[in-house]
């Protein structure tokens, strides 16, 4: 597998001025009195890894289903690869790989049999080799003939991802693709996601892992069915505060800085960088801390 050269949170060359792979505008969806989506809007450039984060019940899966044309919104529009997600959903599905949060695979079939079944919808040549390569990628080739009901949850997750990857789609839409996957394989998945991105593919995924959100080029935070913010993950993180502690000869003093790179030099100037400034320790809020603060502010 290729090594990832793209740094987490940075735009790829393909993303610069790229058209939108997904464009969501003013999306509403209600289930009775429950608003699953409330004027949700976002734009996903082609050639990027785009993350969607938010608490359970925030609307992540509903938004993903609307993008895939699985459900019809009450209002608003969704464009996928330049096509209407409702009217042209069948044309979109030939170019889209979708991995739902809950596996839709057949438990009595093996990974090979499941992939053969799903490959039949695309009827592209070279199926045997593509199936082998895909199962090797998700490290299931040695279990290719075992029925899925003998697999662990993480292994079923890998089989589900294999189905989404099988026909090399232009757009991958993944609902928590690494849930239950061990850390080593999770790293391999992310290397592959960025490799696909460098080849011009687009990955739109939901995650509850903040370290994964930091690997995305852009992150949207959803709460109450609406998008709170959609920016590069480091930009979101920079909205938080940085705690600086100075240990002086006469005691310890702590400062909270909202713009750490600019305010820290000003802070140190106040002390003239005297010899009695013995040590400086810095603790910046994590992306998870900042997002949780944003969500708490909306409750």
pLDDT in tens, the chain (299 residues): 333 334 455 444 444 556 899 999 999 999 999 999 999 999 999 999 999 999 989 999 999 999 999 999 999 999 999 999 999 999 998 899 999 887 789 999 999 999 998 887 666 667 889 999 999 988 999 999 999 999 988 888 889 999 999 988 999 999 999 887 888 888 888 999 999 999 999 999 999 889 999 999 999 999 999 999 999 998 998 888 888 898 988 889 999 988 877 788 888 888 787 777 666 777 788 888 888 888 888 77
pTM above 0.75, yes or no: yes
Helices 153-165 and 127-137, packing angle to 10 deg: 140
Residue ending a domain, choose from 176, 208, 232 = 232
Spatial CB neighbours of 4, under 8 Å, sequence gap ≥ 6? 190, 191, 194, 195
Q: What is the rounded CA–CA span in Å between residue 150 and residue 207?
A: 26
- The distance from CA 295 to its chain's CA centroid, rounded to whole angstroms, is 18
How much is the mean pLDDT over the chain? 87
Count Cβ atoms within 10 A of the Cβ of residue 288 and give its class: 0-12 exposed, 13-18 middle, 19 or more buried. Answer: middle
Give a yes or no: residue 291 inside a domain: yes
Residue 231, number of CB atoms within 10 A of its CB: 15
Structure tokens at 97: 């790989």
Which domain, by its residues, includes 47? 13-232
Same domain, 139 and 284: no
Same domain, 109 and 197: yes
Q: What is the rounded CA–CA span in Å between residue 268 and residue 291?
A: 29
Same domain, 247 and 225: no
How high is the pLDDT of residue 1? 37
Residue ending a domain, choose from 213, 232, 251 = 232
Give a yes or no: residue 1 inside a domain: no
Same domain, 250 and 225: no
Give a yes or no: residue 26 inside a domain: yes
Give a yes or no: residue 226 inside a domain: yes
């Amino acid at each position: 597998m290729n090594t990832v050269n793209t740094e987490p949170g940075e735009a790829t060359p393909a993303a610069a001025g790229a058209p939108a792979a997904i464009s969501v505008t003013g999306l509403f969806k209600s289930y009775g009195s429950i608003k699953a989506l409330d004027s949700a809007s976002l734009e996903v450039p082609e050639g990027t890894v785009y993350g969607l984060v938010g608490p359970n019940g925030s609307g992540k899966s509903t938004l993903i289903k609307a993008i895939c044309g699985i459900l019809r919104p009450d209002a608003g529009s969704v464009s996928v690869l330049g096509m209407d997600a409702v009217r042209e959903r069948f044309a979109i599905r030939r170019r889209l790989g979708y991995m739902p949060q809950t596996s839709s695979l057949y438990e009595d079939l093996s990974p090979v049999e499941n992939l053969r079944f799903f490959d039949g919808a695309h009827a592209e040549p070279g199926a045997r080799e593509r199936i082998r390569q895909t199962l090797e990628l998700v490290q299931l080739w040695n279990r290719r003939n075992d029925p899925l009901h003998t697999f662990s949850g993480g292994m079923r997750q890998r089989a589900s991802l294999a189905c989404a990857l099988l026909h090399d789609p232009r757009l991958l839409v993944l609902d928590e693709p690494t849930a239950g996957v061990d850390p080593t394989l999770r790293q391999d998945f992310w290397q592959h996601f960025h490799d696909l991105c460098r080849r011009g593919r687009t990955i739109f995924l939901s995650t509850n892992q903040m370290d994964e959100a930091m690997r995305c080029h852009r992150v949207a935070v959803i709460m109450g069915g609406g998008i709170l913010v959609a920016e590069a993950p480091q930009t979101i993180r920079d909205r938080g505060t940085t705690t600086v502690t100075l240990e002086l000869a006469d005691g310890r003093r702590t400062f909270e800085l909202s713009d750490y790179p600019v305010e820290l030099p000003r802070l140190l100037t106040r002390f003239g960088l005297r010899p009695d400034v013995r040590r400086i320790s810095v603790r910046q809020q994590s992306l998870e801390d900042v997002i949780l603060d944003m969500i708490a502010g909306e409750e």
